[in-house]
Amino acid sequence: MLLFISLILLLFIVPDLYLSVAYLRHAPMIWRLLFFVPTLLGLGTLVGTRFFGFSNGLTALFMAMLLCFALPKSVFALISLVAKFLGIWSANVSTATTIVGIVVAGGVSLMALYGLTFGWRNLETKHVDLYFDNFPASFDGYRIAHLSDLHVGTYGKGTRFLEKVVRAVNDENPDLVAFTGDIVNTEPEELRPFQAVLSRLSAADGVVSVLGNHDYCLYGGNADRWSDVREGGLAVADLERAMGWGVLMNEAKVLCREGERIAVVGVENTGKPPFPQIGDLKTAVNGITGYDTILCQPDIFTILLSHDPSHWRMEVLPKTHIPLMLSGHTHAAQFKIGHWSPSKWLYKEWSGQYQEDNQQLYVSEGIGGTLPFRFGTRPQIILVTLHRK
């Protein structure tokens, strides 16, 4: 809490007070009042959340005020202080530094505006080819549309963007659609306006899914609502099943072609704390593939769906022979410049393909987020084609 209050002071209140004294002392009162409006709106959303509970709308408004106004103000305030310090030696250098501050702060604001208006809707379909020595020959060329992190609560009741997602997936005519969790933000009911749209996802072998940390609906003051940590997740799973999805809760689906088999295994959320640790991989792979390096059945190629990529190093690599795991969760922090993202600070594997010996992981940057914002990382459908090496 202390850290949160300190961040609010540094990003909202202190920059506003400094800039109003340094640059607006002689401005008309109306301009001075307008200058404080974004900060008042941002702080107002925090008060609203405190008294009325979590709201996707309030969260979106808070982040808009933070990204478009508070952060640029903070950047300019910092550069302005540097300019005033340099002004001790040279007025020209001070003026030039102030101009740089205006340009940088303006760039930050435009970046935020783009991410909030266009970035989160700029859908891409990314084609990925993965190769395995032991992949069944009869399945060579098998195509999986990998989706993750829809966070439908962020869209309110507007279905247009998800209709675009469904069309893009169906146009690829995949063999399987695999969704790796976080379909809602805080409530199972968020999914109801989108059930009809998402039920139109089509693939020869159907749609399979697992639950992510948000799908247990423990956020937004809901932790005390459920009698059991899994209760919210079970409600979400029921809504997904009503859409025709096969929800894999520590279980597997086996696909057969010409006497050869692929097992698609799904576990409940497992990964880094403080997120729910509910997955049971040992139960999920029982009788299908090797766990603790025993009872391995090499004739069944196994694909694991697990929301959090941390699970790969925690359990999958050291204890199993599972050749492929698909994950999401990181969103690439919904902010990326080139190949860099703040996600690198939190996750060893946060985007794209990773390999250790004969085992591979693919992490999707996801489609949605709790905030409708993306910069440098587009909402993505991963079309994975599996090949026999």
For the segment 125-136, the average pLDDT, to the nearest whole number, is 96
Return d(Cα 374, Cα 112) in angstroms, integer.
Answer: 9
> For residues 280 and 303, is the Cβ–Cβ distance under 8 A?
no
**pLDDT value of residue 223:** 66
Dihedral sign of CA atoms 167, 172, 175, 176 in order = negative
Question: Does 6 have pLDDT greater than 90?
Answer: no
For the segment 349-378, the average pLDDT, to the nearest whole number, is 96
CB burial class (10 A; 0-12, 13-18, 19+) of residue 177? buried
Question: Does 145 have pLDDT greater than 60?
Answer: yes
Query: pTM for the whole thing?
Result: 0.90
> For residues 174 and 143, is the Cβ–Cβ distance under 8 A?
yes
Question: Does 362 have pLDDT greater than 60?
Answer: yes
Assigned token pair, 351: 């985007």
Return d(Cα 160, Cα 121) in angstroms, integer.
Answer: 10
Q: 207 - beta bridge partners?
A: 177
Assigned token pair, 138: 């009869």
User: Residue 26: which pLDDT band, with cuts at 50, 70 and 90?
Assistant: confident
Q: Which of 360, 383, 352 has its CA nearest to residue 175? A: 383
**pLDDT value of residue 298:** 56
Question: Does 297 have pLDDT greater than 60?
Answer: no
> For residues 268 and 249, is the Cβ–Cβ distance under 8 A?
yes
**pLDDT value of residue 276:** 84
Question: Does 220 have pLDDT greater than 80?
Answer: no
Residue 364 makes CB contacts below 8 A (sequence gap 6+) with 146, 147, 148, 149, 180, 326, 327, 328, 380, 382
Return d(Cα 380, Cα 205) in angstroms, integer.
Answer: 21
Question: Does 295 have pLDDT greater than 50?
Answer: no
Return d(Cα 355, Cα 361) in angstroms, integer.
Answer: 6
> For residues 375 and 334, is the Cβ–Cβ distance under 8 A?
yes
Assigned token pair, 150: 């829809």
Task: At 238, give phi and psi (nearest 5°).
Answer: -60, -40
Return d(Cα 243, Cα 349) in angstroms, integer.
Answer: 31
Residue 130 makes CB contacts below 8 A (sequence gap 6+) with 324, 353, 360, 362, 384, 385, 386, 387
Task: At 233, give phi and psi (nearest 5°).
Answer: -65, -40
Assigned token pair, 282: 């040992």
Question: DSSP states of 53-77 as a string?
Answer: ---HHHHHHHHHHIIIIIHHHHHHH
Helix axes 56-65, 29-52, angle to 10 degrees: 150
Residue 288 makes CB contacts below 8 A (sequence gap 6+) with 252, 254, 263, 265, 297, 300, 302
For the segment 143-148, the average pLDDT, to the nearest whole number, is 98
The length of the chain, given as a count of residues: 389
> For residues 371 and 63, is the Cβ–Cβ distance under 8 A?
yes
Pairing assessment for the beta strands 324-327 and 300-305 based on DSSP bridges: parallel
Assigned token pair, 336: 């990326």
For the segment 246-260, the average pLDDT, to the nearest whole number, is 94
**pLDDT value of residue 56:** 74
Q: Which of 49, 50, 68 has its CA nearest to residue 59? A: 49
Question: DSSP states of 146-203 as a string?
Answer: EE----GGGGTT--HHHHHHHHHHHHT--SEEEE-S---SS-GGGGGGGHHHHTT---
Question: Does 101 have pLDDT greater than 80?
Answer: yes
Question: Does 130 have pLDDT greater than 60?
Answer: yes
User: pLDDT tens for residues 148-198?
Assistant: 999 999 998 999 999 999 999 999 999 999 999 999 999 999 999 999 999
Angle, vertex CA 21, rays to CA 20 and CA 27, nearest 5? 65
| Structural domains of the chain in order of their starting residue, each with its CATH number | 2-117 (no CATH), 124-388 (3.60.21)
Q: Which of 317, 369, 382 has its CA nearest to residue 179? A: 382
